Structure 1
Amino acid sequence: MHRIPLKAWCVLLLVGVAACGGESEPTPSGVPGAPRSVTATPGDTLVTTSWSAPENEGNSPIQRYVVRALRNGAVAHSQEGTSTSLTLTGLTNGETYTLVVAAVNAQGEGPASAPSEAVTPRVIPGAPREVTATPGDRSAEVSWSPPEETDMPVTGYTVTVRQGETVVVAQTSTELHATVSGLINGTAYQVTVAASNAVVAGPESAPVAVTPVSVPGAPRVWVHSRTATVLSFAWEAEDTGGSPITGYRVVLRQGDTVVETADTTETLHRFRNLTTGTPYRFVVIAINAQGEGAPAEFEEQRPCAIPGTPALLQAQPQDGQLILTWSVPADTGGCPIASYRVDVSEGGGGPSTRFETITETRLVVTGLPNGQYHVIEVFSRNEAGLGLNPARVQATPYSAPGLPGSFTATPGDGTVLLEWTRAPVDGGPLWRYVVTVEPAVGDTDTFYLSPDDVSRRLDGLVNGTTYTFTIRADNRAGQGPTATTQATPMAP
């Protein structure tokens, strides 16, 4: 049996203690433990790192730290320091590193820390120079020069447009210019440009002012007034293009012939001494500092006067309605009649029913009470407006007559006496009675009788022949129902 020397026992004892006691006890060699909480902040070809000291310094105080920069798992650069922070220089901008830190004491270098988060050294690009912004139509053309060169190339730019403190547009570009659209003409904006490299964006340039502008849009046009020889047009510039309107150019054409051209700062113009009823086309162009805008061309218009009174107005009464008819006025004012306005009111100033945009010369007015007379006025309208003098008529709606009562036929020698009682009416007078006979009396089979008649003798009949008689009452509202009777004339 061999004895183990005392020195060997001591070594074994130290190994056992280290194995059982963890980091709170010195390592077998007495070196420090691993530093903790390594952080890294990138800079220009450098990284500033900091950490916490190991919980275990080993058998002697920590003398220094070794910081290693790893790229793709391999040590790319290392540097030493005595404090718990260090700026590691000589790195390559744009490359990604992780950092590990090891503590060193008199016994040697301890284990490395856990790696830091990945970090990339970089140069912050400068601000672009010589920024300009040229206004356009709801847009701005922005151009600039690149910032001073660094060892990291610029990969792109961000153009930012603000209205006050509000970002309106943020647009990227890889060129030294950009067109920013979607702006509002006449609104003042501030434009800045910032450069970016593969890692980081730089500061914005000094802001430049720009106000988008364009030529004006087409004005909104309407007819202001007209007479038989004058056309007056008015207009409004709805889109100034963002620049004040300095004037207007107005043109009047007859077909392809220019009748008159004028420049004005007003928004109304009269063309005089025109030919009544002749169609003319009006064009107006708004002008600002940017130039002439889009033309507004108004539909053809004719100089004319308002029309006269519609002719031959008639009202045919019917059951609960009136059938109105009339003719075009003799004086149309020089322009075609476009429509008619019909006013119907109860006699004595009752409520009226108005029918606008009547283009025909016939109208059936329904829903009227029978027996109530109505006043009807019809106005004509042309391009110049509504005529002042209407055609006027009064009428009373009523229904067709009822059935004549007690219709009898009393025969005699070659004759028959027809008798009846008056047909009832609802609001309108009888026009006539109509009597028919079958077979005919001679060449006549229909007799038209006075509305006051209540009997009629028909002579010249053939004894022994049976005759069929009908009677109805008519008025302007229509024909009433028919009553029928028969009789056979006989000699005494």
Structure 2
Amino acid sequence: MKAFRTALFSVAIAATGAVVASPTTVYASGGPVILDGTDSGFHGQVDSSGAISGQWIYTQKAYENLINGVSQTYANSSNGRIAVIGATAVSSKPASNNCGAAAYWAAQNMASPVPIDFYDGATAINSFFDNVQGGTTRPLLIHIVDGICSTNKMSALELNAVNNRANDIAIHVNRGGALLSNTGTHINGAVNYGWLTTLFPDLTATQSGCSGSSLSLTDAGISAFPSLTNSDMAGAWHNCFVSSSSPFPLDVLASQNGHAVIIGGAAVTLPSTVSATASSASLEVGQEVCLTATVEVGNPLAPFSGALVAFTISGANTDITLSNETTNTEGNTPNSCFTGTATGTDTVTITATNPDTNDSLGEATVTIEWSPPSATIPGAPASIAADPGDGEAVITWTAPTDDGGAVITIYTVTSSPGDRYCTWTSGPLSCTVTGLTNGTEYTFIVTASNAAGEGPATSGVQGTPASRPGAPASIAADLGDGEAVITWTAPTDDGGSVITSYTVTSSPGDTDCTWTSGPLSCTVTGLTNGTEYTFFVTATNAFGTSDPSSTESGTPLSPPGVPRSMSVETGIDTITLVWDVPAATGGSDITDYVIEYSVDGSNWLVLEDGVSTATTTTVTGLNNNVDHIFRVAAVNAIGTGPSTQLDTGMMELVLPSTGASSRALPFAIAGLALGAYFALLTSARRRVLRHHDN
């Protein structure tokens, strides 16, 4: 066959989708074709016996030749029927000048009659070609009738519908199906053979200078359709085909005076393309559209398995990306689906590539119009929860069970009091409400919105934002014996949460104490007297621990300990006491010693010796032969070592008589807790006397 020129095809809108052919040409050896400019439907009749005459015989033999020329492969896959386009069936007889009757009785007079179907009206024609395109209807032969008959003929509306299905006519022929067309007669309001002009822009049907009453088969016509004769085609004709290309795009089968009146061939291929369909060409935002592509090559046109198909969206939803797909054994891709989120127009470009050679197999485009949705508002979100923080709350929820039939695009979280809010547009279902007042309980609700509007709110969930507290204030330290009593006042900001504890920390040593209830006071123990300490306080609530307070410093002190290594020397009416400083001064220097004496152990008198840090003193003016008991206590800035009880560790001494020599009597006082006491008891006198006697 001849090679055909590539052509850009028109858009055909299917009942369930949009189909746009690409300008890619697929060449193969297709089915048999007869295209004529005769008035065959007008010039013929059927008598009362059912016998036909005139050019209706030409239609009968055209049917037989075309069907006989269909390959066995396509015949086996077809429905075995003739599809007549543009007329209704007329089975009554006699009849004449009726396009539907001509087709019906031509089929009945075939040597082997074939069932015949009729598709009249633009709606029926479009539905038929939708099924041809989808492969659900595969007729043996399509017959497109003319418009010259007096009745039951092709109308302008019907011819316009046919002209818009050029690609589907090509699909039928390239699969191997037969085609007969008589639409050369002028029909007002439509382009004669407009569908053929779409496929071959330089091939047109015209009435200009085209008129006659007889035709002669060419060698190509005799070869292609041997049962046809010149007499079969005798009758008026008023249209012919002209082309600016050379050689002629299709074989000339019959002519008169150089006019190509009948064209076609035994195995014609019409240009075809990769095709694509969408589940709908017009949708609402929030609805889903699914696209599929079909790639076919060969003779008859057969599926191309393994083609790599890419989908590119431009327009309203250009931000959506679809994955590449591979055609299956039927030449089809699986559904590539997406949901429109914006109104407007999308153009989806579908490109097919041979993965083995990287050659293009064609391109198709699908146009989809997105209108505002008629969906209802969504239901209320569920499972709302609040996680409050410092002046904010993180709110989480789950999607409503009913999205109203449209994609939920926004969730809004609102707080009360204050009407603070936040909005969600993507990501995990979570939103943070800020600008809240710590310590205030808030109620939070969530609503969902789709293109139809905002839905009802969730039930409320409560939460109280809070933070760790501020630092305590007015810290003060009251130092004591190895300890410090620390006081403070509460922070001005508790962070919105009850303060559950305070911690007092000392340095050095990091000794601390913890307050949990009562007056704001805490005693740090275990301190070393005489060491200066720094103290600070922190407050703790459910959200953490505050910064430290300002610091306060101090040194713990106590009264001094017991004087050590005491001894006594006696003289005439005198006694000299000697001792060492206490091992523990209480953290403060010794400022004095208090000396007390008693003659009965119950009534004590303070020796008026002034203030002195000396560790010896001489007591004079004592009565000889009278028992005296002495005790000494150390004094520092904190105070005087407290009195203590006398015990068996005390010593007694009676001063010697006048003129007796004095002797030293060392002794020690042990086990006294708070003071140093010197007791001169009678037993000591007896020991001294015995000593002196020695």
TM over 0.5: no
Which of the two has greater strand per residue? 1
Which of the two has greater helix per residue? 2
TM-score by length of 2: 0.32
TM-score by length of 1: 0.43
Query: Higher relative contact order by CA 8 Å / sep ≥ 6: 1 or 2?
Result: 2
